[in-house]
Amino acid sequence: MIYVVTGLCLLVSFAICVFSLVYAENRKQKEAVLEAVEASEESSEEQESEDKKIGENSDEENKGTKQDASLRTTFFYKIKTLTVWQWVIFVLISIASSALLCLETVWIQSNSNNWITIIKLFLTMEMLISASIIDKQIKKIPNKLVVSAYLIRVILFVPEYFLFNDTFFRVLMGSVFGFAISFFVFFLMSILTKSGIGMGDVKLVSAMGCLIGLSGTFFSVFYGMVVCMFMAIGFIAFKKRKVKDKIAFAPFIYIGYLITMLLGTF
């Protein structure tokens, strides 16, 4: 069981890293193309006298740009453009994630042998990996990612009801309160920090609360904030960033989650 979980986590984590980066790069490129097309359309409207000549040329250029962009947004093309450093980071992320999940699996098997808990930890891990990479690239967390986590959690209620009927109500309430309190606290923090914490972070943390409960979510966010604070101080001290610069928070939540798994503070 341990070897299966470790190997599966290693492979899936690596695949999630690659797919998430390709997705983020595609989103970034499509937005750039749309902005370029809108800018060319606005400039062509201002020149009425030369609209026919320039319009025809710009339409052809726009078509060529879109076709070229569609070619560059293909999955295999993007994989070829990945740097060696990105591959190294993906390998390190996969190894760290699978190793810590392996340790957590050993602890769970020695105590409760609850394989559904292992699945929830695994799903949370992959969700955070994907959110971290996408958030780092485009400063957004896709709604599809968070909604998928909610749907999977609802599906997992079915086997939990039949396998752990005695404690199912407690598990259900744990997920409900984990979601509600996490959402409320982070939504309030988002308002108080004036968009310092985005709604994507709020939805991501609430999904964590629904999957792993309030305790694991709290410690993951807490450790992530501590790491983020030290990183921000270091960036400002070495003049790599300014105080007002936005920092993607999802990667720090992922780091906090790894620390939580290492310390076992769920």
SS3 49: coil
State whether 159 and 191 are in the same domain: yes
- Report the pLDDT value the prediction gives residue 67, as an integer from 0 to 100: 46
pLDDT at residue 127 is higher than 90: yes
Q: Lowest-confidence range among 81-90, 106-115, 252-261?
A: 106-115
Round the average pLDDT of the chain to a whole number and report it.
Answer: 82
- Report the pLDDT value the prediction gives residue 124, as an integer from 0 to 100: 94
Question: For residue range 87-116, what is the model confidence (pLDDT) as tens digits?
Answer: 999 999 999 999 998 888 878 767 666 788
List all residues 6 or more positions away from 137 whose beta carbon is below 8 Å from its beta carbon: 21, 24, 25, 27, 28
**Could you give the number of structural domains in the chain?**
2
Q: What residue type is assigned to position 243 of the chain?
A: V
Cα separation, 146 vs 202, in Å, equals 10
State whether 14 and 62 are in the same domain: yes
Chosen domain end from 79, 102, 125: 102
Chosen domain end from 45, 68, 102: 102
Q: 46 falls in which pLDDT band (50, 70, 90)?
A: low
pLDDT at residue 245 is higher than 50: yes
- pLDDT higher at 86 or 73: 86
Is residue 219 situated within a structural domain?
A: yes
Is residue 108 situated within a structural domain?
A: no
Mean pLDDT on 234-256: 78
Half-sphere exposure of 257 (CA within 13 A, CB side): 32
Range of the domain at 68: 1-102
Q: Among 248, 260, 54, which Cα is nearest to 141's?
A: 248
List all residues 6 or more positions away from 202 whose beta carbon is below 8 Å from its beta carbon: 183, 186, 187, 190
Cα separation, 249 vs 105, in Å, equals 27
Which DSSP state fits 266? -
pLDDT at residue 251 is higher than 90: yes
Chosen domain end from 102, 131, 154: 102
Cα separation, 204 vs 186, in Å, equals 10
State whether 84 and 144 are in the same domain: no
State whether 245 and 140 are in the same domain: yes
Is residue 109 situated within a structural domain?
A: no
